[in-house]
Chains A and B, each alone.
Chain A
Amino acid sequence: MSAQSSPRPQPSIARRKTAEALFKVLGLCSLAIAVGTLVLLFGALVFQGITRIDWQFLMSYPSRHAAQAGILSAWVGSTLIMLVTAVVGVPLGVAAAIYLEEYARRTWITELIEVNVTNLAGVPSIIYGLLALGLFVYILGLGESILVAGLTLALLILPVVIVTTREAIRAIPVEIREAAYGLGATKWQTIAHHVLPYSSAGILTGIILALSRAIGETAPIITIGALTFIAFLPPAPITTHPPYLSFDWLMSPFTVMPIQMFGWVSRPGEDFVGNAAAAGVLLVGMTLTMNGLAIYLRYRMRKQVTW
Chain B
Amino acid sequence: MSKSIVVMQEAIRIKKPDAIAEAAARRRTRQRRERAIEGGLFLAALISVATTVTIIAVLLSESIGFFRTVPLKDFFTDTLWTPLFADPHYGILPLLAGTLVTSGVGLLVAIPLGTVAAIYLSEFSSSHLREVMKPTLELLGAVPTVVYGYFALIVVTPALQHLWPGLPGFNMLGPGIVIGIMIMPFVISLSEDAMRAVPMVLREGSYAMGATRLQTAWRVVVPAATSGIVAAYVLGISRAVGETMVVAIAAGQNPNLTWNPLEPAATITAYIVQVALGDLPHGSIGYQSIFAAGLTLAVITFVFNILGHMMRKRFREVY
Judge A-B direct contact (beta carbons within 8 Å). Answer: yes
The answer on a CB contact under 8 Å between B185 and A34 is yes
**Chain A residue nearest to B30 in the complex (CB):** A186
B265 beta carbon closer than 8 Å to chain A: no
Contact of B117 among A31, A130, A288 (CB under 8 A): A31
**Chain B residue nearest to A291 in the complex (CB):** B142
Q: Within the complex, what minimum Cβ distance (angstroms) separates B269 from chain A?
A: 5
The answer on a CB contact under 8 Å between B147 and A125 is no
**Chain B residue nearest to A290 in the complex (CB):** B142
The answer on a CB contact under 8 Å between A103 and B41 is yes
Known: A28-B120, A31-B120, A288-B139. A103 touches B42 (CB 8 A): yes
Q: Within the complex, what minimum Cβ distance (angstroms) separates A298 from chain B?
A: 9
Interface positions, chain B 282-301, Cβ under 8 Å from A, are 282, 290-291, 294, 297-298, 301
Interface positions, chain B 201-232, Cβ under 8 Å from A, are 212-215
Q: Tell me the count of chain B residues lying within 8 A, CB to CB, of chain A.
A: 86
Known: A45-B147, A127-B294. A122 touches B235 (CB 8 A): yes
For the residues of B in contact with A, the DSSP-based class is helix
B75 beta carbon closer than 8 Å to chain A: no
Q: Within the complex, what minimum Cβ distance (angstroms) separates A123 from chain B?
A: 7
Could you say which of A63-71, A219-227, A236-244 contacts chain B? A219-227
Q: Tell me the count of chain A residues lying within 8 A, CB to CB, of chain B.
A: 89
Provide the residues of chain A in CB contact with B272, threshold 8 Å.
126, 129-130, 219, 223
Interface positions, chain B 1-55, Cβ under 8 Å from A, are 30, 33-34, 37-38, 40-42, 44-49, 51-52, 54-55
A235 beta carbon closer than 8 Å to chain B: no
The answer on a CB contact under 8 Å between A123 and B151 is no
Known: A126-B242, A273-B154. A34 touches B58 (CB 8 A): no
Q: Within the complex, what minimum Cβ distance (angstroms) separates A48 from chain B?
A: 7
Docked pose: A216 CA to B242 CA in angstroms: 16
B72 beta carbon closer than 8 Å to chain A: no
Docked pose: A26 CA to B114 CA in angstroms: 11
Contact with B along A123-162 (1 / 0, CB 8 A): 1111111110111001000000000000000010011001
Provide the residues of chain B in CB contact with A228, threshold 8 Å.
277
The 18 sampled A-B contact pairs (Cβ below 8 Å) are: A19-B212, A23-B124, A24-B124, A27-B124, A30-B117, A116-B49, A119-B306, A122-B308, A125-B242, A126-B272, A129-B276, A155-B47, A187-B34, A216-B142, A219-B269, A219-B273, A265-B249, A280-B147
